[in-house]
């Protein structure tokens, strides 16, 4: 005695095709603006700030160094460690990038 269950996999196949199409769009090296990577939901979940700009302004490092690229890595890592859920900038960027790509894939 057995039970036969039929599953319609059309929805699953469509979702997989959508993911495949979205993955194609993400191929290669891309530059993504900070405001797309560090959106408010990410910032609110992992920091005490609503926006990346708010966090950067509060660090005081932009005033000290003039532009983001000139900020001392050790000082920025210390600020990230003290004001976010991350140990350093690389960890924060990595998590934000992962979330960004999963969203772009439609997952």
The pTM score is: 0.78
SS3 29: coil
| pLDDT above 70 for 1 | no
- Calculate what percentage of the chain has a pLDDT beyond 70: 96
What does the pLDDT look like over 23-75, one tens digit per residue?
Answer: 787 777 778 888 899 999 999 999 999 999 999 999 999 999 999 999 999 99
Domain that holds residue 79: 36-105
pLDDT tens across 72-84, in order?
999 999 999 999 9
Q: Is residue 81 part of a domain?
A: yes
The pair of structure tokens assigned to 10 is 């059309």
Give the span between the Cα atoms of 25 and 21, in whole angstroms.
7
Whether residue 95 is contained in a domain is answered as: yes
Q: Count of domains in the chain?
A: 1
Residue 9 lies in a domain: no
Tell me if 21 is assigned to some domain.
Answer: no
């Amino acid at each position: 005695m057995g039970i036969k269950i039929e599953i319609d996999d059309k929805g699953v196949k469509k979702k997989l095709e959508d993911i495949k199409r979205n993955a194609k769009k993400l191929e290669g090296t891309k530059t993504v603006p900070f405001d797309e990577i560090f959106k408010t939901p990410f910032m609110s979940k992992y920091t005490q700030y609503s926006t990346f700009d708010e966090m950067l302004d509060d660090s005081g490092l932009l005033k000290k160094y003039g532009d983001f690229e000139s900020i001392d890595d050790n000082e920025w890592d210390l600020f990230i460690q003290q004001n976010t859920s991350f140990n350093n900038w690389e960890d924060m960027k990595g998590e934000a990038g992962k979330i960004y790509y999963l969203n772009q894939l439609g997952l």
